[in-house]
Amino acid sequence: MKYYLYNPLSNNGLKPQINPSLKLLDATKTDYEQFFSSLEAEDEVVLIGGDGTINHLVNHYDCSKLKNNVYLFPNGTGNDFINDINEKPGKEILLNKYLVNLPTVKVKDIEKKFINNMGFGIDGYCCETADKIRERSPDKKISYPLIAIMGLLFHFRPCHASVEVDGEKYEFDNVWLAPTMKGRFYGGGLMIAPDQDRNSDTLSVVLYMTKSKLKALMVFPSIFQGKHVEKKDMVKVIKGRKVHVKFSRPCPAQIDGDTLLDVREYSVEI
Domains, the chain, ranges and CATH? 2-98 (3.40.50.10330), 104-269 (2.60.200.40)
The pairing of strands 110-113 and 258-269 is unpaired
- On the question of pLDDT at 12 being above 70, the answer is no
Q: Which residue type sits at 243?
A: V
Summarize pLDDT for 36-47 with one digit per residue, the tens: 999 999 999 999
pTM of the model: 0.91
**How many residues comprise the chain?**
270
- Residue 197 CB coordination number (10 Å): 14
Mean pLDDT computed over 113-140: 91
Cβ(32)–Cβ(61) below 8 Å:
yes
Residue of 256 and 138 predicted with greater confidence: 256
Summarize pLDDT for 166-195 with one digit per residue, the tens: 999 999 999 999 999 999 999 888 999 999
